């Protein structure tokens, strides 16, 4: 029962947020178009040719990030550490003999 109520509330909340976002995007596009028209009107009054402003980019959906398990995160960190160690060894091999790192005991 509680799960049903939570899901019902959550879906209403998300629906409301999505409708608000769509309304704000439409308002933003309308204001951009109005601003372009005003700028071109002012330029035309001053004797300049109208500006050809690029259209705004269409919003793309953001891909959902996959949740990684702890063993995947640990494996990724170990791979990155090994890669960094190999890169630092390669840089050390390229350094002149007097400029190599001194190991600490």
Residues 12-44: tens digit of each pLDDT: 777 888 889 899 999 998 999 899 899 999 999
Token couple for 80: 């990155």
Question: How much is the pLDDT for 85?
Answer: 87
Instruction: Find the largest Cα–Cα distance for the chain.
Output: 78
- Rounded to the nearest integer, the mean pLDDT of the chain is 80
- Would residue 77 count as lying in a domain? yes
- Would residue 59 count as lying in a domain? no
Residues 36 and 74 occupy one common structural domain: no
Residues 49 and 4 occupy one common structural domain: yes
Structural domain harbouring 24: 1-53
Query: What's the domain count of the chain?
Result: 2
Residues 11 and 46 occupy one common structural domain: yes
DSSP string, 50-104: PP-PPPPPPPPPPPPPPPPPHHHHHHHHHHHHHHHHHHHHHHHHHS-GGGSPPPP
- Would residue 19 count as lying in a domain? yes
Residues 1 and 43 occupy one common structural domain: yes
Left if phi > 0, otherwise alpha if psi is -120 to 50, otherwise beta: which for 49? beta
Average pLDDT over residues 67-91: 87
Residues 47 and 1 occupy one common structural domain: yes
């Amino acid at each position: 029962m509680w799960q049903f109520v939570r899901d019902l509330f959550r879906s209403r909340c998300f629906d409301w947020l999505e409708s608000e976002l769509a309304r704000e995007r439409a308002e933003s596009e309308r204001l951009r178009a109005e601003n372009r028209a005003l700028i071109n009107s002012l330029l035309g009054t001053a004797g300049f040719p109208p500006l050809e402003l690029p259209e705004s980019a269409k919003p793309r959906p953001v891909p959902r990030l996959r949740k990684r398990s702890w063993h995947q995160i640990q494996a990724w960190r170990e791979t990155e550490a090994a890669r960094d160690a190999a890169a630092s060894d390669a840089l050390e091999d390229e350094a002149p003999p007097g400029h190599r790192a001194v190991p600490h005991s």
